[in-house]
Structure 1
């Protein structure tokens, strides 16, 4: 559902970068733009069911190759104007000229959206395929960060990778690229999904050792079906941990047991991360609310004990 731009510019929204650096961990949810009418109904049902949990913010992803650009902007605009939620729009550089990127940034600004997650993005069709720069576009995520920051009063986040980015030759190079994005103006980061707390903690330690104190939010997605494991490998470009894969394999024939184990595993990992002082938790919802609400509730119960 595309919305027209408001005739009067709305007030600027809070900065997610500032929220994350404030006292107390943030909790946030990630959604993706729907491609069908049924998908749109599912998205807004999940948003309405999660809104009462009062998340710190929500994010709207951007399809590979910019395939959901207009839907991403429209959903972000609608969240900004029709809900109590603080939205952040993802923005990728794939297949976009600088002029097109500035147009998207301008639409977000017109809706009062000042929070953007700037990622270079994956090529359409094959996420691991060759990355080709648009002839009039930008080459690196750090260039996109500078473009957004130079376009107005935006709080900009970037992606980080516990296992390293699939295109980085090694961990050291990946860390250096991340620090460069932060020095270009990124105020915070959100990790690609992972399933063992130590993976996040190693990332945090090596970034700190490089002299960078940018807060990094862990991206968490509960495993609710066996196919979630395969999908996580496709989305993250990293293998699912063998130890956990064996645990899920033992209950693979019992869908309810798989789901129960996934909720427990995600909750246990989140508790440890919070005990380790993470600045927040970013839940990847896949436009479903139930599993996220269950993990949320387990964390609240644990915190109250």
Structure 2
């Protein structure tokens, strides 16, 4: 049974989108942004691909968010296939556009998730160096990644958390986690992080299950465990999208409600550019559309 959310624990949400690969996908993305903007997220992030066309679409999406909405955008940056100066130039362009928040990531291997990563000859080698490079350019807000079940390439939790500490020392102001389904795992991770002397916000990354098979497949590559009870909930729903969406909303909302009961109030949703499920979850959590945000988008579009 879905538990009611404690009314004494107001929550804050942020949303992640990825850049569209076509004009049609851009229309779909913008409908999602319009749908979620009235919930007044603390920020929205747009992911960043290594390829030039994806990079350009990310920049275009960020500019449109700045020009046509009242949302605060965060631009993703990676170290993949670019020199330090190329990355720095992208940062300066974003800054001149009005971006003050970056999500600094090493990035996945050019050869796919789980493959050996190689840095550019003249590039940033990892997120630690990237954070330091950002801090040299300006006093940005910098979010970085964190892994409750440790990064697949890390040999152990100590190594993983030590890397997070180095990111903080280099200028990171927030960590957003890989998605997870076991809240005990996340809580233990936060305890490890605090014992290591890391005190920046650790924001749980939440993945609404738009497509269970895809989520489970990605989780296996990213080192994120999908518990048997989650498998059981979605069993037999491959050809029943309506029931699948109901189960997904209940499962995700229940996870966040449990986290609020443990004292966590800030959540980052991986939207996959699909707004309806995320909107339903936020409604269950007590968030309501605020008309001024909706009107701001309508005015900009007029």
Q: In structure 1, which of residues 134, 147, 158 is the aligned counterpart of residue 133 of structure 2?
A: 147
Partner residue in 2 for 1:54: 40
Partner residue in 1 for 2:83: 97
Question: In 2 relative to 1, CA 289–64 (structure 1 residues): closer, same or farther, beyond 3 Å?
Answer: same
Instruction: Report the Cα offset of residue 279 of structure 1.
Output: 4.3
Question: Is 1:164 aligned to residue 147 of structure 2?
Answer: no
Secondary structure of the structure 2 residue equivalent to 1:124: coil
Partner residue in 2 for 1:285: 271
Q: In structure 1, which of residues 107, 113, 125 is the aligned counterpart of residue 99 of structure 2?
A: 113
> CA separation in 1, counterparts of 2:281 and 2:275?
10
Instruction: Report the Cα offset of residue 198 of structure 1.
Output: 1.6
Unmatched segments (≥5 aa) in structure 2: 1-8, 288-302
Question: Is 1:44 aligned to residue 30 of structure 2?
Answer: yes
Partner residue in 2 for 1:175: 161
Question: In 2 relative to 1, CA 240–256 (structure 1 residues): closer, same or farther, beyond 3 Å?
Answer: same
Deviations 1:208-250 (A, max 9, x none): 1111111011111111333233354267332322231123225
Question: In 2 relative to 1, CA 295–103 (structure 1 residues): closer, same or farther, beyond 3 Å?
Answer: same
Partner residue in 2 for 1:34: 20
Instruction: Report the Cα offset of residue 83 of structure 1.
Output: 0.8
User: 2:165–2:198: 8 Å Cα contact kept in structure 1?
Assistant: yes
Secondary structure of the structure 2 residue equivalent to 1:59: strand
TM-score normalised over the length of structure 1: 0.86
User: 1:88–1:114: 8 Å Cα contact kept in structure 2?
Assistant: yes
Q: In structure 2, which of residues 213, 223, 246 is the aligned counterpart of residue 237 of structure 1?
A: 223
User: 2:114–2:222: 8 Å Cα contact kept in structure 1?
Assistant: no
Question: In 2 relative to 1, CA 38–231 (structure 1 residues): closer, same or farther, beyond 3 Å?
Answer: farther
Secondary structure of the structure 1 residue equivalent to 2:151: coil
Question: In 2 relative to 1, CA 66–219 (structure 1 residues): closer, same or farther, beyond 3 Å?
Answer: farther
User: 1:193–1:232: 8 Å Cα contact kept in structure 2?
Assistant: no
Question: Is 1:260 aligned to residue 249 of structure 2?
Answer: no
Instruction: Report the Cα offset of residue 149 of structure 1.
Output: 0.9
User: 2:104–2:130: 8 Å Cα contact kept in structure 1?
Assistant: yes
User: 1:120–1:140: 8 Å Cα contact kept in structure 2?
Assistant: yes
Instruction: Report the Cα offset of residue 265 of structure 1.
Output: 0.8
Instruction: Report the Cα offset of residue 195 of structure 1.
Output: 1.6
User: 1:195–1:241: 8 Å Cα contact kept in structure 2?
Assistant: yes
User: 1:116–1:155: 8 Å Cα contact kept in structure 2?
Assistant: yes
Secondary structure of the structure 2 residue equivalent to 1:300: coil
Instruction: Report the Cα offset of residue 62 of structure 1.
Output: 1.1
TM-score normalised over the length of structure 2: 0.87
Q: What is the Cα-based RMSD across aligned positions, in Å?
A: 2.0
Unmatched segments (≥5 aa) in structure 1: 1-22
In terms of mean alpha carbon deviation, does 276-285 or 136-145 score higher? 276-285
Instruction: Report the Cα offset of residue 252 of structure 1.
Output: 4.5
User: 2:114–2:221: 8 Å Cα contact kept in structure 1?
Assistant: no
Question: Is 1:188 aligned to residue 170 of structure 2?
Answer: no
Question: In 2 relative to 1, CA 65–236 (structure 1 residues): closer, same or farther, beyond 3 Å?
Answer: farther
> CA separation in 2, counterparts of 1:83 and 1:99?
30
Question: In 2 relative to 1, CA 43–60 (structure 1 residues): closer, same or farther, beyond 3 Å?
Answer: same
